[in-house]
Amino acid sequence: MRKIEFLDTSLRDGEQTPGVNFSVQEKIDIAKQLEKWGISAIEAGFPAASPDSFLAVSEIAKAMTSTAVTGLCRCVKGDIDKASLALKDAKYPQVHVFIATSPVHMEYKLKMTPDEVIASIAEHVTYARSLFEIVEFSPEDATRTDKDFLLKAVQTAVDNGATYINIPDTVGYTTPEEFGQIFKFLIENVKTDHKIIFSPHCHDDLGMATANTLAAIKNGAGRVEGTVNGIGERAGNVALEEVAVALHIRKDYYQATSDIVLNRTKTTADMISRYSGLSIPKNKAVTGGNAFAHESGIHQDGVLKNPETYEIITPELVGIKFNSLPLGKLSGRHAFKEKLKELEFEFTDEELNQHFANFKKLADKKKEITDEDVRALILGHNSAD
Ligand code: KIV
Ligand code: ZN
């Protein structure tokens, strides 16, 4: 069975969501959680975009122990130099170079001819490869690019040393059948003397990002790109938790699985939701509040007789625990400590005592203390006084 790598771009493409602006500290917290979740590479930002973006990428580079860290660059030498500087302390550095290849982007945005775009790919992938062992290349708007020109662009990147080829469905235009065919065509026709891995990068404008990503896997992709909760430009990126769970539940169909630690999914999704300020829709697949709720009598009856009648995913699989430890004013230090462990907080005894005292004050005022209340208390967003 193939193992699919996961690249998370919540901190780069995800931060392009209107109104979302993570602080450097929030980005470091998120990156650490993504590493625990089993993400193999984090796109930590666009180092040339701003001093804060540069700082976040360099701090994340230092903080990661097993996860690779990458930064986005245009086909501009200065961008690649900035990325090289920001990623100098990464244990596993990568770089991601992109340029648009569709007619509308080349003519109106880049104001470059197709030949100039090909020359730029050759020049900048070569330059990136002189500074990094692992170079990812993306032909932006690939799904609206002429098929033979796409092959030429990808072949040029591979000939000049690219190791990952990412195929972005930049405007969420493609369909599963069509996207699968693009992967099949490229994988069959790109000639290479070194190992290359293809990946999909799907946007959700037509609501097909998960289906398109899975179609790419079915047709040979070895890595997927996306964000937690599907945050991102416009309708967002593919939600990685949906891809991870689909691969797990339908592994026989896809003949592929991943290293994602599924029971850390809910904690990861909640953190992104809290820091982005974007709540998870109730009916969201995998992590929504209603994803495991059964309302109709027939469904309730079936689930009580055997949960498998209407549940293909158990809440425990993705780390959702129903009232496992309801907390209230009678709860003791032990139960509180267990809850913190469940929510993946770690404290010294002294810190724990302080948080427990605050919890007791809050519990005096509130009948039931939810997981969100505990998180807010710990992160200082909610005062017990
Ligand atoms: O959607 C897109 O085309 C991108 C590229 C920069 C990879 O985010
Ligand atoms: Zn994107």
**What is 279-291 written as a DSSP string?**
PPPTT-TTTSTTT
**Residue with token string 């193939």:** 2
User: For 327, which DSSP code?
Assistant: B
Q: Determine the residue type at 159.
A: D
Looking at ligand 1, which residue's alpha carbon is closest to its atom 3?
170
Mean pLDDT score, 82-102 = 98
Q: Determine the residue type at 269.
A: A
Give the predicted TM-score (pTM) of the model.
0.89
Q: What are phi and psi of 41, to 5 degrees?
A: -145, 140
Helix pair angle (209-218, 240-249), 10° resolution: 50
Q: Which secondary structure element, helix H or strand E, spans residue 71, and what is its range?
A: strand 68-74
List, for residues 306-360, the tens digit of each pLDDT value. Answer: 889 988 999 999 998 765 567 888 888 888 998 898 888 889 999 999 999 999 9
How far is ligand 1, taken at its centre, from the CA of residue 167, in Å?
9
Question: What is the C-alpha separation between 312 and 303, in angstroms, rounded?
Answer: 11
Q: Determine the residue type at 232.
A: G
User: For 108, which DSSP code?
Assistant: I
Mean pLDDT score, 145-157 = 98
Q: Determine the residue type at 279.
A: S
Sign of CA dihedral 222, 223, 229, 230: negative
CB 236 within 8 A of CB 17: yes
How far is ligand 1, taken at its centre, from the CA of residue 344, in Å?
32
How far is ligand 2, taken at its centre, from the CA of residue 140, in Å?
8
**What is 14-56 written as a DSSP string?**
GGGSTT----HHHHHHHHHHHHHHT-SEEEEE-TTS-HHHHHH
**311-315: long-range pairs with CB below 8 Å, 24+:** 312/249, 313/245, 313/249, 313/286, 315/291
Interior CA angle at 379 toward 243 and 317, to 5°?
30
Ligand 1 pocket mutation pick from 72, 170, 179, 198 by most atoms within 8 angstroms of CB: 170
pLDDT band at 253 (very low <50, low <70, confident <90, very high): very high
How far is ligand 1, taken at its centre, from the CA of residue 151, in Å?
18
- Residues near ligand 1 (Cβ within 6 A): 13, 72, 98, 138, 140, 168, 170, 201, 203
Question: What is the C-alpha separation between 287 and 282, in angstroms, rounded?
Answer: 8
What residue numbers does the annotated binding site for Mn(2+) cover? Answer: 13, 201, 203, 237
Instruction: Locate the ligand 1 atom nearest the alpha carbon of residue 168 and give its number.
Output: 3
Q: What local confidence, expressed as pLDDT, does residue 372 receive?
A: 81
Question: What is the C-alpha separation between 284 and 210, in angstroms, rounded?
Answer: 13
Instruction: Locate the ligand 1 atom nearest the alpha carbon of residue 166 and give its number.
Output: 7
Mean pLDDT score, 224-234 = 97
Looking at ligand 1, which residue's alpha carbon is closest to its atom 1?
170
Q: Please give the mean pLDDT across all residues of the chain.
A: 94
In angstroms, the Cα distances linking 177 to 75, 144, 170, 182 are: 30, 15, 17, 9
